[in-house]
Structure 1
Amino acid sequence: MNTKVWKVDKYVDNLESNPQLVDAAQLLRDNEVVALPTETVYGLGGNAFNDEAVEKIYAAKGRPGDNPLIIHIADREQLNDFVAEIPEKAEQLMNGFWPGPLTIILKMKQGVLSEKASAGLTTVGVRMPDHPVALALLKQCGLPIAAPSANSSGKPSPTTAQHVIDDLQGKIAGVLDGGPTGVGVESTVIDCTEAIPVILRPGGVTLEQLQEVIGEVKVDPALTDEAAKPKAPGMKYRHYAPNAPLYLVAGTKEFLQGLVDEKQQESLRVGVLTTEEHQTEYRADYVLACGKRSELESVAAALYDTLRQFNQSNVDVIFSEMFPSEGVGHAIMNRLLKAAGNKIISE
C-alpha cells in the first residue's frame, strides 16, 4: 500500500477546505485509515461505524482485539448517535475539559458503533481532541472516528508524523503531518458510568484538575497495584517499550551510575534516561535528557520521542530516573512502568 503524507499548516484559516485534508476525509469515508495529529499523540483514525475500517486499525497496529478504541468527535451533538446516557458529572467534565486530553467512558447505545471498536463492551470511551487539524478533519468527514495511537502495538506512541511513518509506512492509507504534538502522553481516561468516577488511565488532565471540577474521583487500583485486575482492558498490556530492556531506578544518581558501571564492565552498551538538570552527571554510552525535572510537562512532551531515540543508539540496556507521582508525573510514571514491564531497581 502506498501511504500518502500530507503536510498541513495548523495555523491557516479555513482548514476544513484544505485540499489535502479534504482528501484525507474522503479516505476515512471510504473506510480507509489515516493517521492524524492530536494534542496528545498521533492517532490512527478509522470510521467508528464500520467493521472493515476498524479491522484495518487493529491490523495495521498489530493491536489485541480485546483492547477497545477511543472514539473522537468534533461536536457534542454526535454523542446522541451512539451514547445511551450522559451523567451530570460527565457533562461537567465535558464543559471543563473538552476539547482537550480527557476521554470519558459512557454507556453505549447498542448496534450503532462497530462492535469491534468497543471490543464487545457495553461502554465507550469518547473524547474531543484539542488540535485544529484533528477537529477540521473530524468536521470534514462528518463521522465519529475510532483512533488509538498511530504506532505499532507495544512501541512508544508517536508524537511526530515521522514516528508514524517509521512504524506504519505501507500499512495505512495516509498520514496528516500537523507537526509535533503538545501534551506528549495520551488522554486521561475516566469512567463516568459509576456514581463516583474512576480514573482508568492517567494522562494530560490530572487527578487534581478533575477533583476541582467534580469533587471525589477514584483511581483504578490496578494503576498502583500490579496484582489488581485493570478495569480498562488495554492497561493489562505492555506498552511504550523501547527495543532494549528498560529499568526504572529508585535511588540516588550515584546508585544509578553504579548500575551503569556494572553493565559496562560486562561489555554492554548502556543508556540513561534523565533530565536536563542531570544530563552531564552520568557516564554512559548514551545519555538522553527528557525535558526538565522542574517542569514535568516538558518531560511528558518529550517522553515517547526520547524512548524512540534509544532505538537508534543500539544500547543493550537502559536505566531511567523516576519522577514524582503527582500532577502529570502520575502519567509519566504510568508510561515508564509500562515501558519497563514494571521493572524497578531500588537502592
Structure 2
Amino acid sequence: MTASTSGIDMAAGVLRAGGLVALPTETVYGLGANAEDPAAVSRIFQVKGRPPSHPLIVHIGDAEPLDDWAEEVPATARLLVERFWPGPLTLVLRRGRRVPLVATGGLETVAVRVPDHPVALALLSAFGGGITAPSANRFGSVSPTTADDVRAELGDAVDFVLDGGPCRVGVESTIIDVTGEVPAVLRPGGVPCEDLEAVLGRPLAVPSTSRIRVPGQHPSHYAPRARVVLAEPEKVVAEAELAQQQGHRVGVLLPAAFADAEVKAHAVVQVPGSMAAYARGLYGFLRELDQKGCDLIVASLPAAEGLGLAIGNRLHRAAGPRNTV
C-alpha cells in the first residue's frame, strides 16, 4: 500500500464532489465514481468512450451492505461471498433501488464485488459508499495495471489518481450470474472457475450468449494498438517469422515451452510458465510491445483451465475484429 492517508481522504473528497478517481484493485486499476451519483457515473462513460448500454461494476467495502445494493441475495451468492470476498469475484444480482439505471446500462441487474486491495478498501471506508469502477482506460483498449498506465492513457480526464502500486492479479474479476437456478460464468477472471465449482459442488453454466450484458463482452476488447494474431503454440515462431518477412514489425508472446527458440522478430516477450505470473504481466506485455513499435503481435492461447482460461479470454478478445461497434 503506497497511497497516504491524506491521498485517500483527498480521493474520497473528489468522489463526494462528483469527480472521477482512478483507484487500484488487485485486478486492474479502476475509473471510479460515486455509484449513487448519475451525473458522475455518466462521466465515466464519456471519459472511456464506453457505450452506455455496457453496465459497470459497483465496488463496496465489505459484504455487510450487499442487501442495500441488491434486491435479493440468494443462498448461492452468500456462499460465494463468504468464500471469495474480498477478491476478484463479481456477482450479478437483481438491482436494488440504491443503484441508478445509468450504472447498470438500463438493466434490472447489478454487478457487485468487494476488491481485495488495501488502498481500494481504505478509499471505500473513507468514502462510505459504493464506487462504480470499470477499468481506467479507453473503451476496448488494454487495461491498466499501474498508476502510470492510467496517467499515460487518460491524463487530465481523471480528477485524481490514487497510486497503490502494481496490481497483483493483473486480469479482471470473474463474473458470475447468480440470478438464475444455476450460477453461470459470464466472464472468466481472477478466481478460477474450478475453485468456484468446488465450493458450489456443481458445474457452472456457460451460456452460449450472455443474456445479461457484462464488462468485457465486446468482440474486440483488451486490445493493444498492434493487431493480435493467435496461433497454436508450436506454430507461433513460424507465424511470427513469416509476418516479419512480409514487412510487419512483429511482437511475439513466446510460450514458455519454446523458451529456447530463436525468433526472428521485431520484439520478443518470454511468457512465464506460471499462469499467475502470466496473468499478472499480460497487459504489461501487450503495452511493452506497443511501445516498441510493433504493428502485429503473435500469441497462443494457454490451456483453458485455471487462470489460463481468463488469459485466453483476454487474448481472444484482443484478437477480435476492430471494426465492430
TM-score by length of 2: 0.94
1:9 aligned to 2, 19, 26, which one? 2
User: Matches of 1:62 and 1:318 in 2, distance apart?
Assistant: 25
Corresponding letter in the other structure for 1:135:
L
Give a deviation string over 1:247-272, Cα, whole Å, max 9, x none: 110151xx332222322222221111
Q: Which residue of 2 aligns with 1:265?
A: 245
Whether contact under 8 Å (1:40, 1:187) holds in the other structure is: yes
Q: Which runs of 5+ in 2 are unaligned?
A: none
- Offset, 1:172: 1.2
Is the 8 Å Cα contact of residues 200 and 219 (structure 1) preserved in structure 2? Answer: no
Match runs of 1:283-294 below 5 Å? 283-290=264-271, 292-293=272-273
> Is 2:183 aligned against 1:179?
no
Counterpart contact for 1:35–1:42, Cα < 8 Å: yes
- Indicate the SS of the match to 1:44: strand
Shift of 1:205: 0.6
Aligned to 1:318, the other structure's residue is in SS state strand
* Residues in 1 aligned to 2:237 and 2:69: alpha-carbon distance in whole angstroms: 53
1:78–1:144 Cα contact (<8 Å) kept: no
Report the Cα offset of residue 277 of structure 1.
Answer: 5.3
> 1:220–1:230: 8 Å Cα contact kept in structure 2?
no
Please, which of 40, 46, 54 is the counterpart of residue 41 of structure 2?
Answer: 54
**Are residues 1:322 and 2:304 paired?**
no
| 3-state DSSP of counterpart to 2:190 | coil
- The DSSP-based 3-state class of the residue aligned with 2:179 is coil
Q: 1:71: which partner in 2?
A: 58
Alignment equivalent of 2:92, drawn from 84, 92, 105: 105
How far 1:275 sits from its partner (Å)? 4.2
Take 1:306 and 1:138, find their aligned partners in 2: how far apart are those partners? 30
Q: Which residue of 2 aligns with 1:20?
A: 7
The 8 Å contact of residues 161 and 175 in structure 1, kept in 2 or not, is answered as yes
Alignment check: 8 A CA contact 1:33 1:44 kept: yes
Counterparts of 1:27 and 1:179, CA distance in 2: 20
Which of 233, 237, 244 does residue 226 from structure 2 map onto?
244
1:276-318 residue CA offsets vs partner (Å, 9 max, x unmatched): 553451221110123x22x111110000111111111112211
- 1:314 to 1:230, Cα distance in 2 relative to 1, 3 A: farther
Q: Is the 8 A contact 2:58 2:131 kept in 1?
A: yes
Counterpart amino acid of 1:332? I
1:36–1:134 Cα contact (<8 Å) kept:
yes
Q: Deviations over 1:35-68 (max 9, x none)?
A: 0000000011101111111011111111111110
Q: Paired residue for 1:309? A: 288
**What is aligned with 2:277?**
298
8 Å CA contact 2:220–2:321 kept in 1: the answer is no
Report the equivalent of 1:232: 213
Render the CA deviation track for 1:205-228: whole Å, top value 9, x for unaligned. Answer: 111100111122324334xxxxx4
Q: C-alpha distance in 2, partners of 1:204/1:50? A: 28
Shift of 1:229: 5.3
Q: Structure 1 residues 249 and 19, CA, compared in 2 at 3 Å: closer, same or farther?
A: same
Structure 2 letter corresponding to 1:265:
Q
Q: Report the CA distance shift for 1:137/1:62 in structure 2 as closer, same or farther (over 3 A).
A: same
Q: Distance in 1 between matches of 2:42 and 2:321?
A: 30
Show structure 1 runs of 5+ residues with no match. 1-7, 223-227
Which structure 1 residue ranges, 4+ long, deviate > 4 Å from structure 2? none
* Residue pair 1:239, 1:338 contacting (<8 A) in 2 also: yes
Partner of 1:154: 140
**SS of residue in 2 equivalent to 1:181:** coil
Q: Are positions 1:43 and 2:30 aligned together?
A: yes
> Mean Cα displacement is larger for which, 271-280 or 98-107?
271-280
Residue number among 68, 79, 88 corresponding to 2:75 in the alignment: 88
CA distance in 1, matches of 2:148, 2:124: 22
TM-score by length of 1: 0.88
1:133 to 119, 125, 150: 119
CA distance in structure 1 between the aligned counterparts of 2:294 and 2:80, rounded to whole angstroms: 43
1:96–1:342 distance in 2 versus 1, CA, 3 Å: farther
Question: Tell me, what secondary structure is at the counterpart of 2:141?
Answer: coil
Q: 1:143 aligned to 2:129? A: yes
Measured in 2, the distance between the counterparts of 1:229 and 1:203 equals 16
Q: Does 1:170 align with 2:156?
A: yes
**Conservation of the 8 A alpha-carbon contact between 2:254 and 2:268:** yes
Identity %: 43
SS at match of 2:93: strand
1:218 partnered with 2:199: no
Distance 1:229 1:46 in 2: 26
